[in-house]
Amino acid sequence: MLNIIIFGAPGSGKGTQSENLIKKYNLAHISTGDVLRAEMKNGTELGKLAEGYISKGQLVPDDVVIGMLANVLDSKKDASGVIFDGFPRTIAQGEALEKMLKERGQDVSVVVSLEVDEPELIDRLIKRGQQSGRSDDNLETIKSRLDVYKNQTSPLKEHYKNTGKLASIKGVGTVEEIFGLIAEAVDKVK
Ligand code: B4P
């Protein structure tokens, strides 16, 4: 079972490249951002809770996201592989994912880390905000999302580097060029 984590700052191209991975390798997609936005749209209790964090550019608490992931993971149990897009975002989430996979006789195959500098990230998210209507794609919230990434999410990179599973990829260029590099990294572990 191929388990790919796609990792990177907000706006680094995780969602975009996940779509290409799904098409090429026929994988199931788990995007915690998409799951949370769907809950917000449906006005569920979880959605209302998540909205308060997302609109401020903060992470939804670990226990909420980890609890949510266990159910989502079971719904994909017949897939030949899974892309984890935007999860894990903290060390605690990384540990929880490893435990959940281990309980199912699986492991993380590769962690694709998309490297993009901050001015480019801000530019992309501002542009997306002009069309997406997302409550978190405005300059103030983007800045706090980038701070959260630096402080809470990027330490995970060191963790995956130590396990030898990290593939750092330059996330600047055309979507196709970047995908070529990602596919090379995935093919090595397939
Ligand atoms: P996410 O939905 O994961 O949003 P994101 O980090 O902004 O990345 P996304 O995948 O959408 O964007 P992409 O880089 O593809 O999370 C949203 C929020 O939900 C978080 O801030 C948090 O509050 C909450 N959340 C989610 N998961 C959580 C978790 N595990 N724990 C706690 N909280 C959680 O693309 C951005 C833009 O760049 C697009 O417009 C795209 O077209 C463009 N782009 C992509 N590639 C490009 C390229 N090569 N060149 C130019 N532009 C490009």
Series of mean pLDDT values for 10-residue runs along the chain (190 residues):
97 97 95 96 97 97 95 89 97 97 95 98 96 92 98 96 97 98 96
Rounded to the nearest 5°, which phi and psi values hold at 17? -75, -25
Q: Report pLDDT for 150.
A: 97
Q: What is the model's pTM?
A: 0.94
Task: Report how far ligand 1's centroid is from the alpha carbon of 184 (Å).
Answer: 22
180 appears as a binding residue in the annotation? no
Q: Report pLDDT for 140.
A: 96
Give the tokens for residue 73: 């993971």
Task: Identify the CA nearest to 9 among candidates 184, 187, 138, 146.
Answer: 146
Q: CA-based Rg of the chain, rounded to a whole angstrom?
A: 16
What CATH class has 2-188? alpha beta
Task: Report how far ligand 1's centroid is from the alpha carbon of 9 (Å).
Answer: 7
Q: Report pLDDT for 77.
A: 85
119 appears as a binding residue in the annotation? no
Q: Report pLDDT for 188.
A: 96
**Structure ipTM:** 0.88
Q: Is 186 helix (H, G, I), strand (E, B) or coil?
A: helix
